[in-house]
Structure 1
Amino acid sequence: MNIFCAGLNYKTTSLEIRERLAVSDDEMEKLLRQIHSIEGVFGAVVLSTCNRVEFYASTLCPLQALGGCRSILQEQTGMDIPLYHYSTPDAVRHLFRVASGLDSMVIGETEIFGQVKNAYSFSAKRDMTTHTLHRLFQHTFRVTKHVRTETNITRGASSVGSVAVQLAEKIFGKLEQCRVMILGAGEISERTARSLQSRGVRSLIVSNRHYDKAVALAAEMGGMALHFDHWDKNILDVDIIISATGAPHAILTVEKLKPLLKQRQGRPLFIIDLAVPRDAEPSINKMEGVFLYDIDSLQKIASESIEVRRQEVVRCESLIEENVREFLRCMKNKTLFQQAH
């Protein structure tokens, strides 16, 4: 049985294409079933984040699995999107690197570990994994923890959210006097809010489509919750908007902001758009007083702290290679045992 991986990420595909491939929770089960139905595929896990969409499968024929994945994406987008692809042992190595943050936009970021765990759990709860995939992902979780504890790969900014906060500091200096509005109370918004609080922000507004989530996060952070329908009415005194709503369309538009900016009397508004699909129309960056950064723009900030982590990559790669060999030995011994019985 082969372990197969195919996918695309921020290094191989533009943000515009990744937006078209973003998978909601409602769509994930359908996509999993499509992958699972490919001839020769016995189990599947789909990892979908802002920066990557990857398919992991246990299969008898990796080439057949690759063809099936390409067909599914072509049907979804109407485009022939190039995919990188690996089979054992490269697929094992790739997953270890992804979960450890070595393949992330910000090297060593920790959000991806939780996203990998959630992707596996989603598939396992629907009985779409196999014993091989179970062993692979459990081993992956151990490897990731080992890499974190044995190296300094997580030093400095450890997520896209914390890099976004560093960007705000570059713009404003100290953040104590800044008023910040967070649109979306999901995981990435929560991490960003915690980073903001650690940098001294005292005035924080949280707005979310599900008001109870906004209330919970605002209470935890000592901020104020706001009904999502009213966020635009409270923008006049805000300095920074950090948006990650997961909405299927832009909510920060020229049409929406134009009348509001007139009332701000020339005060700058910095918008950090962490969402995929994007929450902000790119054209608002041309508006007077508006400065927009999307998730790809954060790479410039990330590069400043990345050199420290790069020095740790060699150690991380060595640990991963040891664990790839260990995993393959375990799988080989399991196969020999089954053949003997």
Structure 2
Amino acid sequence: METEVLYDLSPFARIFNDGRVERLWGTETVPPSLDKKTGVRSKDVALSSDSAVSARLYIPEAAIDSPQKLPVLVYYHGGCFIFETAWSPTYHNYLNALVAEANVIAVSVEYRRAPEDPLPAAYDDSWTTLKWVASHSTGNGPEERLNSHACLEKVFLAGDSAGANIIHNMGIRSGEEKLNGIEVAGIMMVHPYFWGNEPLPSETTEPEKRSFYEMLWRAANPMSPGCDDPLVNPGMDSRLSGLGWNKVLVCVAGKDVLKYRGWYYKETLSQSGWSGVVEVMETPGEDHVFHLSNPGCDNAGKLMKKLASFMTEDEEA
């Protein structure tokens, strides 16, 4: 059989019909370190011998010798479930800066990626990570830095794009399957990757653009019935009112094709009978994950301050 391109996801990746993947984006990695600019130390941890999932743990260096316990941020990277990793310089640098800004401990999740491990692998690994974090609640978990320094009554989840999609789906799961040992104080979904078969009002109707997003979803989840799958179109989920998170921040960007899905998420969540609080922050004039591609711009700084303040609101009140 001749090798052909099954999914051309350029400029991000190409997937061939023999199962081979050519990742064109997000392939560079950096080791954990002490970042002198932010004063944040990182290390990599394997969650367990029988799990494929691992994580990069970040903590302010000043907190290591302090008795103070810090809130915990569990972070899920983006990349359409297909490219990028928790080890990439993009995410490593961003987490260093966010941890320093908010004064938290972060667990950046390295989940399995499609197409080698199609969905729900990333969802399963992400849930495994939450349970691993929760295993430190009695002070005798596998990672000493969490035992000594983590305040598990104040856990936040954040992620961009596909990572924000993961957070939503963790919320649906936590509504059905109690997560003991941690209290999730809030979640931050940055430019969430949701889609649907029918265009929303004002959303693009260009067949080329719509088919590209459909192709991304098919490549990540070949067994899915399509873009009205509740995993990628929460408005189709009858379980939405049971979302396990009570405080939700959705961030959207003015030029992002996915912007309307973020607003639609707020609308459907608010109307579902869910009892929590949801807020949307829109950054005008910016595109999808602009804060990662241009972290030094003013709007990226404002977005980071918003995420940090979301995690410290109760302390400041």
Please give the TM-score of this superposition, normalised by the length of structure 1: 0.27
By percentage of residues, which structure has more helix?
1
By percentage of residues, which structure has more strand?
2
Please give the TM-score of this superposition, normalised by the length of structure 2: 0.28
* Greater radius of gyration (CA): 1
